[in-house]
Amino acid sequence: MVRIGLISDTHGLLRPEAVSFLRGCDHIIHGGDIGHVEVLTRLSALAPVTAVRGNNDSGAWAERLAETEFIRIGDICRLRARFTECDNTLCSSESHDMKTLLALVGWCLLFVLCWPLALLALVLWPFVWLVSLPLRLIGITLEAVFALLRAILFLPARILGYRGKHA
């Protein structure tokens, strides 16, 4: 199991608690706003370091740092570290990016395949309604005929004044 340490916004100060937490990591990623080159030197004594430049990092040492780094650790783990002012640090794995891409392709495929069906349903709905109209009229007519037969059948009972069990 690979242990990766993530740290950012040290601004030239590397606290002892952070050092003790990062001890034993296989790799350390610093997400920017390092503050001073000594921070990277101290981190490098603990494990290999990949760092990106933040908006507060300046000087010759900071010019060597990129704003985006692609890192491969071990056989499986591929990470991207990027600094922007909006989200400060973003670390994402390539497999997550692949899942997002596959979800997008899936939704696009679903859209491409389903919009013709939805359009067909909208176009055909009036025809379905027209075809089913005679069947609905037959149903209404049969219901009226049965109501008439029921009224005729129970007419003698009404004439004799039978009110049923609920009266």
One pLDDT digit (tens) per residue for the chain, 167 residues:
778 888 988 999 999 999 999 999 989 988 888 999 999 999 999 999 988 888 888 889 998 988 888 777 766 555 556 555 544 444 444 444 567 777 788 877 877 788 888 888 888 888 888 989 999 999 999 999 999 999 999 888 888 887 766 65
Strands (E), the chain: 4-7, 27-30, 49-51, 68-73, 77-82, 90-93
- Residue 84: the pLDDT is 54
Q: Which residues contact 93 (CB under 8 A, 6 or more apart)?
A: 77, 78, 79
Q: What is the pLDDT of residue 88?
A: 44
Give the per-residue pLDDT at 39: 94
State residue 90's pLDDT score.
45
Answer whether 28's CB lies under 8 Å from 48's CB. yes
pLDDT at 140: 94
Does residue 52 sit in helix, strand or coil?
coil
CA 111 centroid distance within chain:
17
Vertex 17: Cα angle to 27 and 38 (nearest 5): 60
pLDDT of residue 94: 43
CB 83 within 8 A of CB 57: no
Q: Are strands 77-82 and 90-93 parallel, antiparallel or unpaired?
A: antiparallel
Which pLDDT belongs to residue 160? 85
CATH no. of 4-88: 3.60.21.10
